[in-house]
Amino acid sequence: MFYTAEFLIAVGGILLLGLATDFLGRHTFLPRVTLLLLFGILIGDQGLALIPAFFLDRFELITDMALLMIGFLLGGRLTRDSLSRNRAQLLFISITAALLTSLTVLAGLILLGLPFPVALLLGCIAAATAPAATVDTVLSSGSPKPFANLLLLIVAIDDIWALLLFSLSMAWITSINGGADAASPLLQAGYEIGGALALGLALGLPASYLTGRLRPGQPLLTEALGLVLLCGGLAIWLEVSFLIASMAMGMLIANLASHHDYAFHEIENIEWPLMVIFFVLAGASLDIELLQQLGAIGLTYVLCRTLGKIVGGWLGGSLSGAPAATRRWIGIAMLPQAGVPVGMALVAANQFPEYRQLCLSIVIGTTVLFELLGPVLTRLALRKAAS
Residue 78 reports pLDDT greater than 90: no
Supply the pLDDT for residue 186: 66
CB-based contacts of 205-209 (< 8 A; 24+ apart in sequence): 205/252, 205/256, 207/249, 207/252, 207/253, 207/257, 208/252, 208/253, 208/255, 208/256, 208/257, 209/256, 209/257
119-134 pLDDT, tens digit each: 888 888 888 887 777 8
Residue 309 reports pLDDT greater than 80: yes
Return the amino acid letter for 127.
A
Cβ 126 vs Cβ 105: under 8 Å: yes
**Can you tell me the mean pLDDT for 7-28?**
74
**Can you tell me the mean pLDDT for 213-241?**
77
The count of other CB atoms within 10 Å of the CB of residue 63 is 18
Average per-residue pLDDT for the chain: 78
Spatial CA neighbour of 192 closest among 4, 344, 376: 344
135-157 pLDDT, tens digit each: 778 877 765 578 888 888 888 78
Supply the pLDDT for residue 212: 59
310-337 pLDDT, tens digit each: 999 999 989 888 888 888 999 898 888 8
Q: Which CATH number fits domain 31-50+58-283+295-386: 3.40.50.1820, 3.40.1190.20, 3.40.640.10, 1.20.1530.20?
A: 1.20.1530.20
Return the amino acid letter for 34.
T
Supply the pLDDT for residue 213: 59
Q: Which of 45-49, 192-196, 201-205 has the highest mean pLDDT?
A: 201-205
Q: Which residue has the higher pLDDT, 298 or 287?
A: 298
Residue 178 reports pLDDT greater than 90: no
Domain ranges for the chain, please list them.
31-50+58-283+295-386
Supply the pLDDT for residue 303: 92
